[in-house]
Amino acid sequence: MKLWSVLKALKGGLGLNLRYLQRSQHRYKSGVEKYPDTISGRAPLDMFTNFRGYVRNDLSKCTGCGACVPTCPVKALDFKAETKPDGTVNVQEYRIDLGKCFSCNACIEVCPEQSLYYSKDFELAATNPQDLIYVQVNNTNRKDKDITRIRTYEVRR
């Protein structure tokens, strides 16, 4: 007798959940909202001052001294530079492996030119490990109107 009442209650509960899931408005509803939330209206630039996003390098300030590379405890930094005939160093490419970096602040503290800084990016997740390798290329011939930021998202159904 108890088994019959348990099965009857189970059938009623599962039936209710099945009817709920069959409704079209609940089928693909996202459970995650982008941050900062739309209610407060905060922008990424308004993030609190101690927020540590990704490590970035201002290549216009970078002298290519290389003090940051040996300081990194997980070897997440690398750069390619060329030496000009007058003896100055021009950084061509700066590579940061954000999958290794744990924001210890060692590279930022040791930089004599203060070219390394934390960005205000708050979306710090990636599904592919290759997306966590950030490469900055120093191209002084480019114009700002020629630069287009493209971000792709994979939609799964």
Domains of the chain by residue range:
44-146
| Range scoring the smallest mean pLDDT among 13-17, 45-49, 83-87, 120-124 | 45-49
* pLDDT reported for residue 88: 81
Q: Residue 91: beta bridge partners?
A: 81
3-state helix, strand, coil in the chain (%, to 5): 25, 15, 55
Among candidate residues 148, 120, 143, 152, the one with its CA nearest the CA of residue 47: 120
The confidence score (pLDDT) of residue 139 equals 63
CA atoms of 43 and 6, how far apart (whole Å): 52
* Banded pLDDT at 142 (limits 50, 70, 90): very low
Architecture of the domain delimited by 44-146: 2-Layer Sandwich (3.30)
Amino acid at 15: G
Lowest mean pLDDT among 30-34, 36-40, 121-125, 142-146: 142-146
Report pLDDT digits (tens) over 16-39.
777 777 775 555 555 555 555 555
Question: Tokens 């997980």 — which residue?
Answer: 74
Long-range contacts of 39-42 (CB under 8 A, 24+ apart): none
How many contiguous H segments (helices) and E segments (strands) does the chain have? 3, 5
pLDDT digits (tens, 9 = 90+) for 102-118: 889 999 999 999 999 98
The one-letter amino acid at 129: P
- Spatial separation of the C-alpha atoms in residues 134 and 113, rounded to whole Å: 21
Please state, in angstroms and rounded to a whole number, the distance separating the CA atoms of residues 84 and 53.
33
Q: How far apart are CA 61 and CA 152, in angstroms?
A: 30
Q: Dihedral angle at the C-alpha atoms of 78, 79, 83, 84, nearest 10 degrees?
A: -160
Q: Over the chain, what is the mean pLDDT?
A: 77
> What's the pLDDT band for 123 if we cut at 50, 70, 90?
confident
End-to-end CA distance of the chain: 43
pLDDT band with cut points at 50, 70 and 90 for residue 148: very low
Q: What is the pLDDT of residue 19?
A: 78
Higher pLDDT, 94 or 155: 94
Q: Is the pTM of this model over 0.85?
A: no
